[in-house]
Amino acid sequence: MLSRQDQLVERLTKFALDCANLLKSLSLTEQNKIYGKQLVRSSSSIGANYVEATVASSKKEFANCVNIARREAKESLYWLNLLRKVSNSTDFIDLVDESEQILRILSAMVKTSKLE
């Protein structure tokens, strides 16, 4: 059984891959390409920053890395909502929901780490 930490890494990896895969279904307009690249960048950065947090040498460094991951989750949510609106598609609903859940998890981690 995976630890909570490993489960979150798996979830963040799946989210990044799901974001990238969803873009394949969009029409290749210049606008979608630009927004899509931003989404791929921000969604993959969430997991990268969280993984960095897992090997932090201090609580302050941990909180900083998780906070960066949280900001990237917020940015991913922005790009998902923007793409959803310009593509007029309901395909984004699950990813928007997942992004919001990830954002809540990371926000709670930041809050908890500041209390310790």
Specify the amino acid at residue 96. V
Angle value at C-alpha 97, between 111 and 3, nearest 5 degrees: 55
DSSP state, residue 76? H
φ, ψ at 20 (rounded to 5°): -65, -40
Query: What is residue 116's predicted lDDT score, i.e. its pLDDT?
Result: 58
User: What is the tens place of the pLDDT at every residue in 6-36?
Assistant: 999 999 999 999 999 998 888 888 998 999 9
Residue with tokens 């906070």: 67
Angle value at C-alpha 61, between 108 and 52, nearest 5 degrees: 85
Q: Using the predicted structure, report yes or no on whether residue 115 has a pLDDT greater than 70.
A: no
User: What is the tens place of the pLDDT at every residue in 56-96?
Assistant: 999 899 999 999 999 999 999 999 999 999 887 778 899 99
Query: What is residue 91's predicted lDDT score, i.e. its pLDDT?
Result: 81
Which CATH superfamily includes the segment(s) 4-19+30-115? 23S rRNA-intervening sequence (1.20.1440.60)
